[in-house]
Amino acid sequence: MALDIPLNQSTRILRYHLCSDCWEILQEIDRDRQNQILTISCITDDCPNQGMVSVQYVEERERIARIWRRNARKYLAKELSWIAPLPKQNQAQLLQAMGYY
């Protein structure tokens, strides 16, 4: 779905906003100089593109997600074995685990 925005705000919106559904960049589709309207859409083909969000919002959400992931790894490592990092091994141990020795 394409979005129509005023032409005088187009530079700011294209620079500082992303698609609200997939967080990809927005691109210009059509420019109507007579009505001063710019039509924009997401660069992803199958994206419904129902709106836009600011780059700052996306960066903040990604920062929070990294914190949640770090906390989940920290507190669930004992309960879920696939989350716990593998112990460090030297080259000989790695080759032996792969069946070379």
Contact 49, 18 (CB under 8 A): no
pLDDT tens by residue, 34-80? 999 999 999 998 999 999 999 999 999 999 999 999 998 888 888 88
Contact 19, 42 (CB under 8 A): yes
Query: Residue 98: which residues within 8 A CB-CB, separation 6 or more?
Result: none
Given this model, what pLDDT does residue 24 score? 95
- Residue of 16, 10, 2, 14 whose CA lies nearest to 36: 10
Backbone angles phi, psi at 61, to 5 degrees: -65, -40
Confidence of residue 81 (pLDDT cuts 50, 70, 90): confident
Given this model, what pLDDT does residue 65 score? 97
Given this model, what pLDDT does residue 35 score? 93
Output DSSP code: residue 69: H
Query: Has this prediction a pTM greater than 0.85?
Result: no
